[in-house]
Amino acid sequence: MYESLILSNNLVFFCLLLGFIYSLLLYFRQHNFLNKKLLFLLSLSRFLLISFLAFLLLDPILKSSKEIKEKPIVVVLQDVSSSISRNIKNELEDFSNKLNDLDVYKYSFSDKIYDDFNEENNGLYTNISKVINEINNRFSNRNLSSIILASDGLYNDGVNPLYSNNFNTPIHSICLGDTTVTKDNVISHVKHNDIVFLGNSFISEIFIESVKYKGEKVKLMIENNGESLFEKNITFSSNKEFLKIPVELKTSQVGVQAFKVVLSTLKNENNIINNSFMFYVDVINSKYKILFIHDDSHPDIASVVGVIENNKDYDLDIVKSNNLKTNFSDYNLVILHSISKENIQIIDDIFDENIPLLIFPKQELNLYSKLIPNINFNRKSYNNEVFPKINDNFLSFKISKGIEKMINLSPPILTSFGFYNSSPLINPIAYQQYANTITESPLCFFDNYNSNKVGVFLGEGYWRWKINDYKLNDSFENFNELINKVLQYLIIKEDKSKFRLYYDKESNENENIVFEAEVYDDNYNLNNDNDISLLLVNSNNEEYRYLFNKKKEKYYIDLGNLNPDSYKIFAKVEKRNYEKKGKINIKPINVEFLNKIANHQILNDLSKISGGKSYNLANLNLLINNLNEDKDNFVSTRFEDKLIQLIDYELILLILLLLISFEWFVRKYNGLI
């Protein structure tokens, strides 16, 4: 322990001088009445007291430095994803106990990280890069000497762990799983429409991978509600084959329909879970008409029009504003792009109509201010490029990971530079980002005018998002999904009934199922006096009953995770004749079963890049010996500084009290008081 006082020497001299002058003035006149010994004691006591008080008024600080030796920290990570058949908790516990004079931290992980090891391998996703970044963040500025990663090297979420920049700590891999390539047929993915109109057919693309089944025949089948919709015999022509099979399916029932794709099982096929795939389509019974009005040619127009024209659920009319002769009431949505100032009257005409809008104002946001009432824009004299940043709190519809990645990695948008003053009623999809600064200025957002929904995409250059999507994913899927979801949100009218129930019609089995509800009285004021019961019935007619929680003036319930299945929903407001029926589909997550062949190469590369080594369960003792032998090289010595105000010491106050008491007693005893 090292201690030092932080204070200027000149100020200490000033305190001593002040104490000397004060004691001199107080006792100089009394030197004729007191003997020299008594005078010296009283003067010294007052000198010390005043000097000490003046010294404390300067707020002196005592600095102490403590030497701390920290043991090397070893983090052991257990991969508990479903792709690993063998659980090695006991082996890792034994491994950890044999590490001497090391601080060992134990975790398990799949898509998230959990404290301690786990007895079950039931993770639905694997995100290795996320867990490595999390460990480096948790042990930042700590003596982290090694990370032990026990995994099969398979990841299906997040980025490739080799692309991480956090390789400051050696990562020693324990390679699990089997690298032997076995016979297997896999339905890896199904590409399909999310929404289809009743009576229309839609194309679904079935992606199949086959390994070591050259010359073998399988049957591909698609079912809906127990009815067979499609069958096809397939013969594999090679031992490593990738097939894309387009299938046209018809819709005959309204609502969310579950389609099951099944591939027949062949001999010696060990993994048959990946021989089936479920997908869901929302079937609605009407077709929507969209009017696209513009006054200029622009690649953004072509990008959006291409999405709409490829969707059979929409009828699209494209006109220029000076040729407009139609009735707005014939359409479910109007899209405006680059309206010229000469045709500004069209904005007033639309304002009087009861119709949702999608606006691409380019650099002329103020031209549309009547239709976008909850944002004001003070434009400067020049344009500016801004990058998009997704709004993590956007809840109006589900933003898929593909859309989020596309938006956050997209090229900049050219917008007008200026100051935005937006109301809390604005609902941003994405914000504007300048360099590394994320602003509160919206880039893509929703607003309301005359109780109608309006979507706004500021600036221009969205065609580059579409091109970038293809560059990242070899398809326009994410861009098309974004535009279609925006159109769907704008077109579908809000529920105006007195009992409203909100929930996602489709969810994954690892997502919490949340229901929200609102009840209105006859004056359309929120009222939650009555209870709401909820009944879920699965495909086996098993019933699950719940009661909503009351939250302020609304209702809320979180059911947690549900087993994959199709559930009928019955919600009822007690003591009122309000009921809601519906359906919710819980989708199984089988990505861990699509490929169970271990990837030890990525573990070897990860260890090599980070300065670690690769091991297996058979030679764990070698890893134990290496860690125990190297522990002295990683002992960290650091100094911990602590600053304490001198006045906080109780001994200082006691000394002051003794000085005051001593002087008072001597003066009292000698009749000076």
The Cα 538–Cα 554 span in angstroms is 27
Mean pLDDT (10-residue bins), the chain, 673 residues: 58 82 78 74 83 81 75 92 90 92 92 91 89 90 89 88 82 90 89 82 92 92 90 93 92 85 90 88 82 91 93 87 81 90 83 88 84 83 86 85 90 86 88 86 90 91 93 90 92 80 87 92 82 94 94 91 91 89 87 84 93 91 88 64 76 82 79 69
Q: Which residues are CB-contacts of 339 (< 8 A; sequence separation ≥ 6)?
A: 293, 294, 295, 321, 346, 347, 367, 368
Structure tokens at 228: 């067979």
How many domains, in total, are found in the chain?
5
Taking a C-beta distance cutoff of 8 angstroms, is the pair 452, 357 a contact?
A: yes
Of 284, 299, 318, the position where a domain reaches its end is: 284
Which helix (DSSP H) or strand (DSSP E) does residue 410 occupy?
none
Note whether residue 141 is domain-resident. Answer: yes
Confirm whether 199 is domain-assigned.
Answer: yes
Cβ proximity of 222 and 232 under 8 Å = no
Q: What φ, ψ does residue 29 adopt, rounded to 5°?
A: -70, -20
Place of tokens 């491994």: 95
The Cβ-side half-sphere exposure at 610, using a 13 Å CA radius, reads: 29
CATH number reported for the structural domain that contains residue 159 in this entry = 3.40.50.410
- Report yes or no on 592 lying in a domain: no
Integer Cα distance of 358 and 355 in angstroms:
10
Query: According to the model, what pLDDT value does residue 639 have?
Result: 67
State whether 269 and 369 are in the same domain: no
**Cα distances (Å, whole numbers) of residue 283 to 166, 202, 374:** 47, 11, 34
Query: Is 318 found in the same domain as 448?
Result: yes
The pLDDT value recorded for residue 38 is: 78
Instruction: Say which CATH number the domain at 370 has.
Output: 3.40.50.20
- Do residues 394 and 436 lie in contact, with contact meaning Cβ atoms separated by under 8 Å? no
d(CA 399, CA 594): 24
Helix (H, G, I), strand (E, B) or coil at 46: helix
Asked if residue 83 and residue 219 are part of one domain, the reply reads no
Asked if residue 520 and residue 423 are part of one domain, the reply reads: no
Rounded to 5 degrees, what angle do the CA atoms 201, 204, 207 make?
Answer: 165
**Rounded distance, CA 513 to CA 584, Å?**
10
Assess contact for 151 and 604: CB atoms under 8 A. no
Residue 345 burial (C-beta neighbours within 10 Å; 0-12, 13-18, 19+): exposed
**Residue range of the domain that includes 264:** 184-284
- Per-residue pLDDT at 382: 75
Let me know: does 532 contact 547? Beta carbons within 8 Å.
Answer: yes
- HSE-up of residue 137 (Cα within 13 Å, Cβ side): 7
Burial 588-624 (b: 16+ CB within 10 A, else e): bbbbbbbbbbbbbebbbbbbeebebebbeeeebeebb
Euclidean distance between the first and the last CA atom of the chain, given in angstroms as a whole number: 46
- Grouping H, G, I as helix, E, B as strand and the rest as coil, residue 187 is strand
Residue whose pair of structure tokens reads 């190469």 in the numeric block: 601
Distance (Å, rounded) from C-alpha 41 to C-alpha 31? 12
**Contact yes or no for 300/462 (Cβ under 8 A):** yes
Does 441 reside within a domain? yes
CA distance 639 to 2: 10
Domain edge (last residue) among 445, 461, 491: 491
Contact 299, 463 (CB under 8 A): yes
Check: CB of residue 624 under 8 Å from CB of residue 95. Answer: yes
**Would you say 510 and 352 are in contact if contact means Cβ atoms under 8 Å apart?**
no
Based on the domain organization, do 347 and 361 belong to the same domain?
yes
Examine the fold and report which residue of 433, 468, 491 is the final residue of a domain before the chain moves on. Answer: 491
Pair 313, 397 in one domain: yes
Indicate if 379 and 515 belong to the same structural domain.
no
**206, 299: one domain:** no
Does 213 map to a domain?
Answer: yes
* Helices 477-491 & 463-473 angle (0-180, nearest 10): 130
User: Phi and psi at residue 450, in whole multiples of 5°?
Assistant: 50, 40
Phi and psi dihedrals of 548, rounded to 5? Answer: -65, 145
Q: Is 140 inside a domain boundary? A: yes
Same structural domain for residues 506 and 538?
yes
Same structural domain for residues 352 and 456?
A: yes
d(CA 571, CA 500): 10
- What CATH number is given to the structural domain containing 209? 2.60.40.10
pLDDT score at 327:
81
Beta strands in 275-412 (DSSP E): 276-284, 288-294, 314-320, 333-337, 357-362, 375-390
328 lies in the same domain as 451? yes
Cα-based angle 133, 139, 142 (whole degrees, multiple of 5): 145
Residue 506 covered by a domain: yes
Cross-strand partners of 442: 431
Cα 485 from Cα 481, distance rounded (Å): 6
The number of angstroms, rounded, from the C-alpha of 310 to the middle of its chain's C-alpha atoms is 31
Q: What stretches of 474-531 show up as alpha helix (H) in DSSP?
A: 477-491
Is 208 within 8 Å of 233 (Cβ atoms)?
no
Burial group, residue 323, by CB count within 10 angstroms (0-12, 13-18, 19+): exposed
Structure confidence at residue 451 (pLDDT) = 79
DSSP label at residue 313: T
Burial of 365 (0-12, 13-18, 19+ CB in 10 A): buried
Residue 320 shares a structural domain with residue 407: yes
Query: Is the model's pTM score more than 0.75?
Result: no
Q: How far apart are CA 630 and CA 624, in angstroms?
A: 10
Distance CA 256, CA 566 (A): 10
Answer whether residue 583 is part of any domain: yes
